[in-house]
Structure 1
Amino acid sequence: MTTKKWPAISLNLMILLFFASLLILPLGRLLILAFTSEGQFTLANIQATLSRPDIGLAFGHSLFLASLSAFFAVILAFILAFTVNFTKMSALLKKAIETLALFPMFLPTLAYGYSIIYAFGAQSPLTRLNHDNLILTPFGPQGMVIGFIIYTFPIAFILLNSSMKYIDMRLFTVSRLMGDSRLRSFWTCLIRPLLISICLAFIQAFFLSFTDFGLPSALAGNYPLLSSLLFSQMQGALANFGQGTVIALLMLLPSLLTTALMVFLQRFQVKQQAKSSFVAFAGRAWDWVFGGASLLIISLSILVFLPIFVVPFVTAYPYVMDFSLVHLQEVFNNQSLISIYQLTLKMAMLTALIGSVFYFAMAYLATRSRIAGRVFAVFHFLSNMTNAIPGMVLGIAFLFIFSGTPLNGSLWLLVLVNLIHFLASPYQMAIQALSKLSKHYETTSRLLGDSFIKTIFKVILPNIRHTIFEMMSYLFIQSMVTISAIVFLVGVDSQTITTSMQSLQQFNQYAQVFVLALFLFGTNLLVKLIFHFLGSYDFSALRARTSHYKKRILSKKEAISLESNQLSTVEHTTNGE
């Protein structure tokens, strides 16, 4: 073994130790607690939990709602992606659809639930327009299905939109030359190549709905779901940790199966060439149908979130709709809520900064180091493993490991759980970006005498700058809106905005809840725009302009100095005469 490999091996060992401490050990502790009681191996917890009638009911409800929501989310996402890629709608409208489709990602699922209550509740304007008849029941399965669809269709849209951009358009040309109808071309040339992506989108939407805690916390009511039962078992005076760990394992099983299925299906995904400008389904009928459906989907989505942007600015929604800033003033005057907002910002920024460095190091070791062949499979497995673990299960595992330690209830514990919980997506971003770079960068740098650190900062990072800032943006936004992974870990001095929203809801302080949701939305949108600018702006042009202005200033200074010297010489000569 050459000494040149030792830095990579040392870094690899530190990463593996990190995972052993924060992933393997907590999950092992969770498993042990499920099968032990008072230090003895027993199946009592399993038997007691599975014999409860509400467990089977909650498990069935969770599977049903997640499947139903994922089905409709994929359909809606497909309509939006098709409109963007295969119709002759205006470029501005397509860009608006792409942007507004991601709107729900800037808000926590708790806010979805509260907004659905205000949008469709008994006192909502929609209900009054419908002669006091509810359009849908916000509490229970109807409201949660609406919430889950809104929550998951942005993710499904990202997957399908990305896949549609790489459909081989030559297939449509061949299909038309063979005399196929538009419907046959639609099935053969579009649906069949997208089947794997559609399945992946469905599985991802199912996983997100099945493991979410925010929406059930707001809308479940007396409708039992696994996430709400798990929370009730782990909190309060009647907490039962033994049965709570068993429920956590029940939640973990479908998640592991769906992740394993995703990994299996990804093997059959074919990478296509970039699509041409040819629009396969150009025609007024397709434009009107899919364009109108997309506008309807976006409009209804915005309608659901409308209370978030209205309630903070009226006196008493929906009774007194006069403009008022009293709710904003209440939050601004509440130093406790301001401190919570500041702490949430700090948590999100620490997660974004530390996570980006950590995931970049992992991806670099897995793709470009001297031991890449040995660690790639290990890191890929760990990435899939973190993606398979629901946030609530991970939070409970951390609770059992760090209870009684200095980290318990601290800001740093929230950062650590976020680093594990959100690893999969930014790690894959870094892997894809680094894999596209030339393999000869490091060799060329060594021949030129550059150090490894200089190569990273002068060559590697500038070439993947956009990806690095996308990773930071993703981590920041996810940390701001998360609740499932941290709900069991927050302490008195480490409350976040999402956990505070849950507490305020218990006291019917919905106006303050919506103000906090507005803060979250504005912050996430602003940070997204900043990181996008930092990742996309051509700073080389700025440096060139700056250099040009500096040269002009220096030349002017030299001209002024020369002119001043000439005047001094003339004056000196005149005085001498």
Structure 2
Amino acid sequence: MVKTTMMMRSISFILLIIFILFLALPLGLVVLKSFQGLDGWTLQNYEKALTTNTLREVFFNSIWVSGIAAVITTVLAFLFAYTIHFTKVIKPIKKFIQFGVTLPMLLPTITYGFVLIYAFGNQGIFSRIFEQPLFTVYGFNGLIIGYVLYTLPAAFLLIHNAMQYMDHRFIIVSHLMNDGKLRRFYHTVLRPLLSTIGGAFTLAFILSFTDYGIPASVGGTYEVIATRLYQTMLGSIPNFSQGAVISIVMLAPAVIGMIVIGILERSNVAYKSFSQQVAFASKTKTILFGIGSTMIVFTLLAIFTPLFIVPFTTAYPFDFGFTLAHLEAVIQMPELMRVYKNSLIVAVCTALAGVVIAFIAGLLSARTNLKSRKAFDAVAMITNAIPGMVLGLGYLFLFNNSDMKGTFLIIIAYNIIHFFTTPFLMVKNALQKMDLSWEITAALLHDSWLKTIYRIILPNIKKTLVEVFSYYFVNAMVTVSGVIFLVTTHTVLVSTKIKELQHFSKFNEIFILSLFILLTNIVVKVVCEFYIKRHSKKGFKT
């Protein structure tokens, strides 16, 4: 690696200051607030919380519903990934499965609940088709379905990515050794993926446990810890100390989950080389898995049909005549268009600034000898474990009495820190794959470190940086849990405006704004993927 310079130390120092200000201080304030009472420092807040039946009930409600949803999600994610990698289904079906599974991640989670209501409620589309509600959508049932829709894309991508690097030749060896089907499946597929499957379950559990959007729209009387935190902080009588305690309680499972993921990663199976050619996939297995996966994906997509039907009907459920009146009304409402513009501003600024922060942090961590480089790995681990509502509450405490309260800057900073882990790891992994002698060679030619980055590093990592931009943009457009504490009437975003529109039963406006988000995210992802494919042909190495 290149010799450490004052420029590297200065950039590292500035970046660490940013993380201290926007990560360490907010979290520290949450912890301090949890011990703050009317008469000074006290443990009474924790005693009251732990001895209150209501809080214990909502905590175990969250554990139970999140656990069940995580099990279902992990099974479905494994099924879809297995169909793609271990059967010989045709390529269009594989593309359809990937598209259908990942589509929900382009929408705010709060929209899922309203879609479920219009799909399975008393006047829902499927209730009308079957002439009766199939089940009660509010409460436990709605939360399970909503959490599965929300967590399935992340779990699927995790298992799907791991299966890409599995060696199918072991299946051939197992066949030659006359192993039984179950024994072959366990040793060649399941056993090498146990850590990944455990990680997918843990990730799905944490995402479900900390989500606010789904229970806010479809939770009903089945209260979970995220809605309790919201009511405590933004209810008729806000209780900051009690809210801080709930945040710490909410943080515990997430931290434990991250520790579990770290332990599971130690048992990863590595291959010296691998072959992706599918071996011994029988026609029967291909047909069964292909049909089964396709039908499940069709079902998942069908749940979202109200999003594309309800806002274009004259008066659902009484008049199904096609109309664009609701769309035109939303476009002509300056308030809603301003909200959409706010979301675009925040998403673009988050993506641009996030690319810079993630690139610098990844560069300092992967390609310098700075002693502080390990701090960025620690930041990535912490941000991965912190629920969005907890971090948002910390920002509320820190900036509540400052001029920065309710500004776009705070929302953008929150998004960059909250979603930092994945972009940082993407950049770091890409940089680690590059030739480590580039900077040394450039230094021998008397090129400065910054010139080397501009002329050599950046051209070879453009693909990854575009992916980071897409990741930050999409997440900034759909996030709701943390920013719910940070927005004001001037900085309200589409994802938080939907919560407000819920109280006035303006579901046409909710669905149309959700479609705006969906279409915007699709356009950004298509443009980014087109750019990546176009420039990959020109020889980008990462």
RMSD over aligned CA atoms reads 1.6
Amino acid aligned to 2:34 = A
Deviation at 1:166, TM superposition (A): 1.3
Q: Distance in 2 between matches of 1:86 and 1:118?
A: 36
Aligned pairs for 1:97-112 within 5 A: 97-112=97-112
Distance 1:273 1:526 in 2: 38
Does the 8 Å CA contact 2:100/2:300 hold for their aligned counterparts?
no
Q: Which amino acid aligns with 1:242?
A: S
Rounded Cα–Cα distance in structure 2 between residues aligned with 1:129 and 1:227: 34
Give the 3-state SS of the residue equivalent to 1:537 in structure 2: helix
- Determine if contact 1:165/1:274 at 8 Å carries over to the other structure: no
User: 2:534, 2:39 → 1: CA distance?
Assistant: 59
The match for 2:500 among 499, 503, 507 is 503
1-side partners of 2:231 and 2:318: how far apart?
34
User: Contact (CA 8 Å) 2:354, 2:472: kept in 1 or not?
Assistant: yes
The answer as to whether partners of 1:366 and 1:379 remain within 8 angstroms in 2 is yes
| Structure 2 match to 1:429 | 426
Query: Kindly tell me: are residues 408 and 158 of structure 1, through their superposed partners in 2, closer, same or farther at Cα, counting changes over 3 Å?
Result: same
Distance 2:406 2:498 in 1: 18
Shift of 1:3: 9.4
The answer for unaligned runs of 5 or more in structure 1 is: 543-577
Greater shift in the superposed pair: 267-276 or 415-424: 267-276
Classify the secondary structure of the residue corresponding to 2:191: helix
Matched residue type, 1:229: R
Equivalent residue for 1:441, pick from 438, 443, 449: 438
Does 1:36 pair with 2:36?
A: yes
8 Å contact kept, 1:106–1:520: yes
Q: What is the DSSP-based 3-state SS (H/G/I as helix, E as strand, rest coil) of the residue aligned with 1:101?
A: helix
The Cα of 1:274 is off from its aligned counterpart by 5.6
Matched, 1:11 2:11: yes
For residues 441 and 320 of structure 1, what CA distance do their matches in structure 2 show? 67
State whether structure 2 residue 411 is matched by structure 1 residue 414. Answer: yes
Fraction of identical pairs, as percent: 36
Match of 1:551 in 2: none
* Total equivalences in the alignment: 538
C-alpha change, 1:539 and 1:367, in structure 2 (3 Å) is closer
| 257-266 or 268-277: bigger deviation | 268-277
The 2-side partners of 1:411 and 1:81 are apart by 39
Q: Distance in 2 between matches of 1:334 and 1:281?
A: 59
Distance in structure 2 (CA, Å) of the matches to 1:53 and 1:39: 25
> Is the contact made by 1:8 and 1:370 (CA closer than 8 Å) also made in structure 2?
no
Q: Using a 3 Å threshold, how does the CA distance of structure 1 residues 179 and 541 change in structure 2: closer, same or farther?
A: closer
Deviations 1:178-221 (A, max 9, x none): 11122321111100111011000000000100000000100111
Tell me if 1:253 matches 2:252.
yes
Match of 2:314, SS state, is strand
> d(CA) in 2 for partners of 1:539 and 1:166?
20
Checking the alignment, whether the CA contact within 8 Å between 1:391 and 1:485 is kept in structure 2 is yes
Contact preservation (8 Å) 1:54, 1:224: no
Alignment partner for residue 515 of structure 2, among 509, 515, 518? Answer: 518
The corresponding residue for 1:76 is 76
Q: Secondary structure at the match of 2:5?
A: helix
**Offset at 1:237?**
2.1
Correspondence 1:383 to 2:380? yes
Asked if the contact 2:35/2:43 (under 8 Å) is kept, the reply is yes
SS at match of 2:369: coil
Q: Secondary structure at the match of 2:446?
A: coil
Residues 138, 464 of structure 1: alpha-carbon distance in 2 compared, 3 angstrom cutoff: same
Q: What letter matches 1:436 in structure 2?
A: K
Q: Deviations over 1:87-146 (max 9, x none)?
A: 1111122122122221011001011111000000001131123232x2121110001100
Distance 1:442 1:393, change over 3 A: same
5+ residue gaps, structure 2, are none
Equivalent residue number for residue 174 of structure 2: 175
CA offset digits 1:211-269 (Å, max 9, x no partner): 00000100111111000000000013222112111111110011111011112222322
Name the residue aligned to 1:571: none
The corresponding residue for 2:367 is 368
Q: Secondary structure at the match of 1:322?
A: strand
**Structure 2 residue aligned with 1:218:** 217
TM-score w.r.t. structure 2 length?
A: 0.96
Matches within 5 A, 1:345-356: 345-356=344-355
C-alpha distance 90-394 of structure 1, shift in aligned 2 (>3 A): same
> Counterpart of 1:474?
471
CA positional deviation for 1:330? 1.3
2: CA distance between counterparts of 1:178 and 1:169?
Answer: 15
* Residues 137 and 218 in structure 2, CA contact (< 8 A), matched pair in contact too: yes
* Equivalent residues of 2:165, 2:276 under 8 A apart: no
The one of the two structures with greater contact order (alpha-carbon pairs below 8 A, sep at least 6) is: 2
AA of the residue aligned to 1:8: M
Which structure: larger Rg? 1
SS at match of 2:304: helix
Distance in 1 (CA, whole Å) between partners of 2:142 and 2:412 is 32
Distance 2:273 2:225 in 1: 43
TM-score (norm 1): 0.91
Given that 1:426 and 1:471 are in contact with CA atoms closer than 8 Å, whether structure 2 keeps it comes out as yes
- CA 1:512–1:264: 2 relative to 1, 3 Å: same
User: Secondary structure at the residue paired with 2:487?
Assistant: coil
In the other structure, the counterpart of 1:309 is: 308
In structure 2, relative to structure 1, the CA distance for the partners of 1:539 and 1:224 (3 Å cut) is: closer
446, 453, 458: which one aligns with 1:456: 453
Greater shift, 44-53 or 61-70, is seen at 44-53
Query: Could you say which residue in structure 2 is the equivalent of 1:549?
Result: none
Matched letter for residue 396 of structure 1? L
Residue type of the partner of 1:98?
Answer: Q
